[in-house]
Structure 1
Amino acid sequence: MTPQKHTNHDQHTHDHHGIFGEKTELYFAILSGLFFFIGLILKKLIAAPEWTYLTSYLLAYFFGGFYTTIEAYEKIKKGEFEIDFLMIAAAIGAAYIGSWGEGALLLFLFSLGHALESYAMSRAKKSIEALGSLSPKTALVKKGQELIEVPVEKLQLHDIIVVKPNAKISADGVIINGHSSINQASITGESIPVDKTAIKNSSNLPNFDEIDKQHVVYTGTINGDNAIEVLVLKLNEDSTISRLIQMVSEAETQKSPTQLQTKKFEKWFVPIVIFLVVVLCFAHLVIDETINESLYRAISVLIAASPCALAISTPSAVLSGIACAAKNGVLIKGGRALEDLGSLTTIAFDKTGTLTEGKPKLTNAIPLNDFDEKQFLKVVVEVESLSNHPLARAISKDIKTTYSIETNNEASDIQAIQGKGIKAIYKNEWVYIGNTRLMLDNGIAVTSHVETTMKELLENGHTVMLVAYQAQLIGLLSVMDVPRATAKDTLQKLKDIGIKKMIMLTGDHQNVGDSIARQIGLTEAKGNLLPEDKVKAIQQLKQRDAKVAMIGDGVNDAPAMANSTVGVAMGAAGSDVALETADVALMSDKIDKLPFVIGLSRKSKYIIKQNLWISLGVVAFLVPITIMGLTNIGSAVAIHEGSTLLVVLNALRLLRFKV
């Protein structure tokens, strides 16, 4: 029951669904058990003629051995001798020495374990594939004034689809008409619907990744109470949800470190068992017992030593962990990432868009020289609303919303002065907004008191601008990329679960980094870094702390992520680069999923460990007592297969993991 075996095994069960559909294997196992018990009753309780209970045992052999034989045959064709082969050999051996009952019990329990294992695996897979069923099958395409319903596979790029209130969205695209709040839980795991609005200019769009997320919608998410029109920007097979499903199914094939070790162990363990069994068959030549007794012991040892539970202990836990994460809007690519995350104590963060909002916000608007505050803000908003600069846009937007001051388009003749700021005319007087040099160039005095205030703000990471009007200073503005509301809490939670070092890597000025680090509780901030400096920083951290996770938004952090032990991309919904380079992708751009992922990873490691102890413990206990003849085939089978079921059920606990 090695990891590859599951994939082959699943293909078999899916290839020949058999007479009972996809649960055929489970029903065959139950029938095998039924005939075993009928045989047992006929033999022990009723003392019926031999042919009656033998027929019953034979039927138990048929149903119990059907899938196991197919499996063993497929393996032997490739020259692999694995657990199925050992089981069939043991059952034939049992029949040969006349222990039909024990052989039937063995095949019944083995096939039951196998069927439940496949069932558990397909449960985990289904919760992942359920993502696929989220996307609707048809879409309403707008052709002129008409609405035509087409299958989603037939959608073309740049089709316009109409999404009715409370309907599922059937393509990744951008809203060009209408506004609505959209439930994105299926993709990003966010519990609160997100407000989305139409994009102003849909004729000249940037790349899908670069469009502001407030205009973008994803396949499978649910529209709120308003109808919207969406321009299709990704075909069905490229949509975020299809990529997710494809990546999760690839993730299963990436072996975790524990799985690789288990594989190595099995490689030498199975041949040793076969050798030991062959030797035990000839024990009657050395000790005083019949050939049948020697064969009976050899077959019991063969059963006791099969590492079934061991082979399934890791893959079942890894798959359950990945499925649980997927349901919560987190994509984990394979067992390696899942196991590594749990052993981390150091995390490096990108700043912009990861720990901060990624957008400048107005932090201070201070009138100077007794200038009236309302008048000061009015001057600023009139001038700044003429400019397209991101800082100017942020300032005018924040003044309008915070102080509810509107513009009357009273300013004109705006001019940008390279490296210094802007000037414009307001009520026939020049207004200057910019740095000290701009003021001095235009004969406006900057007092030492103002310079001290500016210096304090700069040291705390703010960008500061002076405002002059009617040839004198009237005020001071500062803007800053502010920390996310949830950042401080999240970092505290990470500290609580044992993350010792949290470091910010940013291209911004060191002062900005230090200021944000103080506000949210980071242990360290490194500023002025180019992308290649981030890579160097990660390599240094790895030398110091062995394992480091890098958390970023995936686009400019891709090289640093690729160099870290585990790369975690945020806001990966819709971003191809982030999905490709990261080992773990948080589908929403919310950092608060991090403690959940690390907690899940630790729980997975813990369950994998438990499973290894259970499976190795049972083999270590059963083999010696079977060699000494202290147990019969029946109880060896029951204990052995019981451990396999226990391991599967233990792994399934991960599906219900909550922080």
Structure 2
Amino acid sequence: MVFDIASELPGRIRLRCGRNLFTEAEARGVAYLLMDLDGVRTAEVHPSAGSVLISFEPPARESVLAAVRGLDPLALPSAEVGLDDAAGALEISLENNRFQVEVGKLVFWRAAKRVLLPMPVRAVLTCLRAVGYAAEGLRHLLAGEVTVEVLDATAIVTSCLRRQFAEAGTISFLLQLSALMEDHVQSRAHLALRSGLVVRSESVWAVVDGEDVRVRTEDVRRGMVLRLGAGQVLPVDGTVAEGEGEVDESSMTGESALVRKEKGCTVYAGTALSDGDLKVLVTAPPGCSRIDGIATLVEESSELKAGAQSRAERLADGLVPYSFLAFFGILALTRNLNKAMAVLMVDYSCAIKLSTPIAVMSAMDEASRRGVTVRGGKYLEALAAADTIVFDKTGTLTNATPAVSRVISCSGATEDELLCLSACIEEHFPHSMARAIVAEAQARGLVHEHELHAEVRYVVAHGIATFVNGDEVCIGSAHFLFEDEGVLKPEGLDELLSSEAGASSTVFVAKNKSLLGCICISDPPRAEASGVLRDLRALGFTNLVMITGDSEACAAHMAGELGLDGYYAQVLPEDKATHVQRLKDEGHTVVMVGDGINDSPALATADVSVAMSDASDIARAVADVLVHDSSLESLVTMRVLASRLMARIHGDYRFIVGFNSALIAGGVASVIPITTAAYLHNASTLAIAGLNTTPLLDRPHLEHHR
């Protein structure tokens, strides 16, 4: 591979290899290859600029350059998935194998016993197994709970007492098979959920020899020092070594109040730095942090269950006393134990309690296989019921990679000077507008690693203030610079921007209270945005709204182009949450889709919050639904999935009540033998559970829905 040395310091070198030479996967593969070399600390490959930034031990310089020269541009190494993704796929594969083995063992032993063991021995084994069910039922009964477990135990024990050992064995076998199926579906959903609960960015800033260098999160080790800026989610547990900040620990404690952190304080992975700048000494690397242990507890939290799931469990247990009342009532009226047993052997509770959780967990698992993590069944239910969807503009409705379209100088500074100054600060902040400025600087070959800036003051959705080489620099919105920071607004600026910037978003740059210029960022709609909005409207959303901090002209242009029902412009972060809350107060069920640090309050307020793949860490930390690709099409998919899930659950209820009522009536009327009725009941319960594990999205979803 041919390259130029763009810049070099001892132990740090930047190479230019040609724009768009690497794909994203190849950039990752080359970076991984270089970081495997002896003496290499970090390696970054930027596809858009075609640059490679490497930090290393000085003696390794020649081996690093030789490795880059040895790359074949036509056969570059590629890395499609990270270690976490591979580990998750392996865990799911192991769970599938476990389920198959367990079902195989259960079926094999049942068949083997029927062939190899005489009837008396089988009867003894059935009675021994019945003891376990009886103990479980008795435990619930002594606790004052008349639940499905009590009903199952009564049916099995009563069958044994009536010497109907085959009947008791069949009930026991079907209950075991149903339990295995439920456990398997829940395990798959929990494995997918676990990876979504612990939000970590792919890379972090580490302090190496006094300089900030970007490293892969999976390469972070105990004893390293990381620099965290406002809006970032901590990837590790650690101790604050330097700096001060306000940390949102709600993901750990449930408390919304910010906690002040300073030198010596402990910080935890999964919490978000809302304001300030911290250097954190790593005490527990990724995978070993406190949040990884808590993930299991969160997965099993009853608060994450769908309302339909909780209602099904309550309904199932609530029906059990009525089953016993019906049993004794029929026994008293008919004096026929066989007829009364129909109510115990055929009930509604077992099917209702088993089918709904399996349906919910299966839908969550299906969502994960389509690149979406849903953090609880209740969010699928809310997504199915929602009538209003609120979109952030930048990075959500608009292109995921906005680009600088114009740089306007309002002083003696050149365009490159404006970009260089802005990029040296913006590279520390995970917002799409910041990424656009950094990308443009890289594309122009501007080197901004030599600037030294002091502690950064980041004001969410407003801007950034710091000192660069001793000069006070402010970057952000017009409100932030001209009103909050007291920067003098030049005469004729509005007219200049009206003619030059058009519908572009504008970032203002000032130094020492004097405006240097403006950076205009073109933010076109995503290619699929219009079609997705049309499909969402066809799927029952009646109110499509955009909310943005951009100017009125920019917002109106975008809303008109996409055909939205309404928009809110020049909105501050706290006001975004207020608008969402107002919609909820009006009786709407609201979905909020956002990607930025400034969206997190509104995301937390909505009934369902959705973060896209390129969202900031803090947005992904508070979101209920995480989309792992950059397409808005996933919103349509999830709406259809959620709607079909609720239709499946309601259909299950109708079938369970109708079919089992017919079996009970047939048993009481002696039209159907009790053994046959019990077998049909348990077989139908198992069949419903099995059908609830089948995909909901096999057919083209929009055509089917319409």
Give the TM-score of the pair, scaled to structure 2: 0.58
> Would the aligned equivalents of 2:391 and 2:546 in 1 still touch at CA under 8 Å?
yes
> Would the aligned equivalents of 1:505 and 1:529 in 2 still touch at CA under 8 Å?
yes
Q: Secondary structure at the match of 2:546?
A: strand
Q: Secondary structure at the match of 1:528?
A: coil
> Would the aligned equivalents of 1:550 and 1:560 in 2 still touch at CA under 8 Å?
yes
Q: CA deviation at 1:636?
A: 0.9
Q: Which residue of 1 aligns with 2:491?
A: 437
Q: Which residue of 2 aligns with 1:566?
A: 608
Q: Which residue of 2 aligns with 1:460?
A: 503
Partner of residue 31 from structure 1, selected from 109, 117, 121? 109
Q: Secondary structure at the match of 2:385?
A: coil
Partner of residue 689 from structure 2, selected from 609, 625, 648? 648
1:530 aligns with 2:580: no
> Would the aligned equivalents of 1:486 and 1:591 in 2 still touch at CA under 8 Å?
no
2:321 partner letter: P
1:307 aligns with 2:349: yes
> Would the aligned equivalents of 1:60 and 1:104 in 2 still touch at CA under 8 Å?
yes
> Would the aligned equivalents of 1:356 and 1:481 in 2 still touch at CA under 8 Å?
no
Comparing 24-33 with 616-625, greater Cα deviation is found at 24-33
Partner of residue 143 from structure 2, selected from 74, 78, 81? 78
- Taking CA–CA contacts closer than 8 Å with sequence separation of 6 or more, which of the two structures ends up with the larger relative contact order? 1
Q: CA deviation at 1:298?
A: 1.5
Q: Which residue of 2 aligns with 1:201?
A: none
1:355 aligns with 2:397: yes
Q: Which residue of 1 aligns with 2:533?
A: 491
Q: Secondary structure at the match of 1:652?
A: coil
Measured against aligned partners, the alpha-carbon deviations of 1:607-650 in whole angstroms (never above 9, x if no partner) come to 22232223222222222222212111221122111121122212
Q: Which residue of 1 aligns with 2:366?
A: 324
Q: Secondary structure at the match of 1:305?
A: coil
Partner of residue 518 from structure 1, selected from 550, 560, 566? 560
Q: Secondary structure at the match of 2:304?
A: coil
1:274 aligns with 2:324: yes
> Would the aligned equivalents of 2:313 and 2:352 in 1 still touch at CA under 8 Å?
no
**CA distance 1:641–1:464, change in 2 (3 Å):** closer
**CA distance 1:76–1:520, change in 2 (3 Å):** same
Q: Percent identity?
A: 22
> Would the aligned equivalents of 1:274 and 1:302 in 2 still touch at CA under 8 Å?
yes
Q: CA deviation at 1:302?
A: 0.9
> Would the aligned equivalents of 1:387 and 1:414 in 2 still touch at CA under 8 Å?
no
> Would the aligned equivalents of 2:559 and 2:566 in 1 still touch at CA under 8 Å?
yes
> More helix per residue: 1 or 2?
1
> Would the aligned equivalents of 1:420 and 1:438 in 2 still touch at CA under 8 Å?
no
CA distance in 1: counterparts of 2:375 and 2:300, whole angstroms = 8
**CA distance 1:385–1:281, change in 2 (3 Å):** closer
Q: CA deviation at 1:354?
A: 2.8
The 5-angstrom pairing of residues 163-312 of structure 1 reads 235-237=285-287, 242=292, 245-246=295-296, 249-250=299-300, 254-284=304-334, 294-312=336-354
Q: Which residue of 2 aligns with 1:104?
A: 169
Structure with max Cα Rg: 1
1:614 aligns with 2:668: no
Q: CA deviation at 1:344?
A: 1.9
Q: Which residue of 2 aligns with 1:384?
A: 418
**CA distance 1:305–1:239, change in 2 (3 Å):** same
**CA distance 1:208–1:340, change in 2 (3 Å):** closer
Q: CA deviation at 1:208?
A: 9.6
Q: Secondary structure at the match of 1:534?
A: helix
Measured against aligned partners, the alpha-carbon deviations of 1:371-399 in whole angstroms (never above 9, x if no partner) come to xxxxxxx9953553564388999999788
1:549 aligns with 2:591: yes
2:656 partner letter: S
1:158 aligns with 2:224: yes
Q: CA deviation at 1:479?
A: 1.4
Q: CA deviation at 1:340?
A: 0.9
CA distance in 1: counterparts of 2:225 and 2:683, whole angstroms = 56
> Would the aligned equivalents of 1:259 and 1:314 in 2 still touch at CA under 8 Å?
yes
2:415 partner letter: V
2:312 partner letter: T
**CA distance 1:357–1:416, change in 2 (3 Å):** farther
> Would the aligned equivalents of 1:278 and 1:298 in 2 still touch at CA under 8 Å?
yes
> Would the aligned equivalents of 2:126 and 2:168 in 1 still touch at CA under 8 Å?
no
> Would the aligned equivalents of 1:172 and 1:239 in 2 still touch at CA under 8 Å?
yes
Q: Secondary structure at the match of 1:437?
A: coil
1:108 partner letter: F
CA distance in 2: counterparts of 1:386 and 1:92, whole angstroms = 79
Q: Which residue of 1 aligns with 2:41?
A: none
Q: CA deviation at 1:482?
A: 0.5
Q: CA deviation at 1:111?
A: 3.3
Comparing 66-75 with 378-387, greater Cα deviation is found at 378-387
**CA distance 1:30–1:68, change in 2 (3 Å):** farther
Q: Which residue of 2 aligns with 1:638?
A: 679
1:585 aligns with 2:651: no
Give the alignment's Cα RMSD to 1 decimal.
Answer: 5.3
Q: How many residue pairs were aligned?
A: 503
Q: Which residue of 2 aligns with 1:90?
A: 155
Q: CA deviation at 1:248?
A: 6.3
Partner of residue 68 from structure 1, selected from 129, 133, 148? 133
CA distance in 1: counterparts of 2:657 and 2:542, whole angstroms = 34
The 5-angstrom pairing of residues 114-125 of structure 1 reads 114-125=179-190
CA distance in 2: counterparts of 1:38 and 1:320, whole angstroms = 37
CA distance in 1: counterparts of 2:697 and 2:191, whole angstroms = 15
> Would the aligned equivalents of 2:408 and 2:415 in 1 still touch at CA under 8 Å?
no
Q: CA deviation at 1:259?
A: 2.1
CA distance in 2: counterparts of 1:495 and 1:625, whole angstroms = 47
Q: Secondary structure at the match of 1:273?
A: helix
Q: Secondary structure at the match of 2:144?
A: coil
Q: CA deviation at 1:316?
A: 0.7
CA distance in 2: counterparts of 1:245 and 1:418, whole angstroms = 40
Q: Which residue of 1 aligns with 2:124?
A: 58
> Would the aligned equivalents of 1:384 and 1:396 in 2 still touch at CA under 8 Å?
no
Give the TM-score of the pair, scaled to structure 1: 0.62
